[in-house]
Amino acid sequence: MSFGIFIAFLGAALAVGLSCVGSAKGTGMVGEAASGLLCEYPEHFSKCLILQVLPGTQGLYGLVVWFFALFQMGAFSGGIGDLTVYEGARIFAACLPMAMGGLLSAIAQARVAVSAINIIGKKPNDWSKGIIMCGIVEFYAILSLLASILLIMNAL
């Protein structure tokens, strides 16, 4: 295996790995906050569950970037061809927006979702406001996904 392939695999691994780390941290944070609320108000489980799932999407986006990177490398079409260091570095760099964007946006979105758990506890009918605020953070995770996909498609 060439060093170019190694660098490309590293980029793909970071995209999925860091995005999943952010999602795990984020969903855990929201789960902790929701558990406290659900002790007193178990009827709000579905609302809390929706808020907990939101920071988990970044992990899925990272997996999509991982698939795109491996597809671009030729992993699904009969074997990975030899990549130069330059080509591997281009794929690595293309994966970075999702790696960093996924990690950081999942944690930021979790903080917003934890605050939205407080909305459910105080004004349950206003919980959709918290979802909208989480959606604003989600937009930047989607931009990271889009940037990585477009860069990967033009990497080789």
Q: Domains in the chain, please, with CATH?
A: 3-153 (1.20.120.610)
* pLDDT tens for each residue of 114-126: 999 999 999 999 9
- Which among 117, 101, 92, 29 is positioned nearest to 59, based on CA atoms? 101
Which amino acid, one-letter code, is at 64? V
Whole-number average pLDDT of the chain:
94
* pLDDT tens for each residue of 40-96: 999 999 999 999 999 999 999 999 999 999 999 988 887 787 889 999 999 999 999
How is residue 21 written in tokens?
């780390």
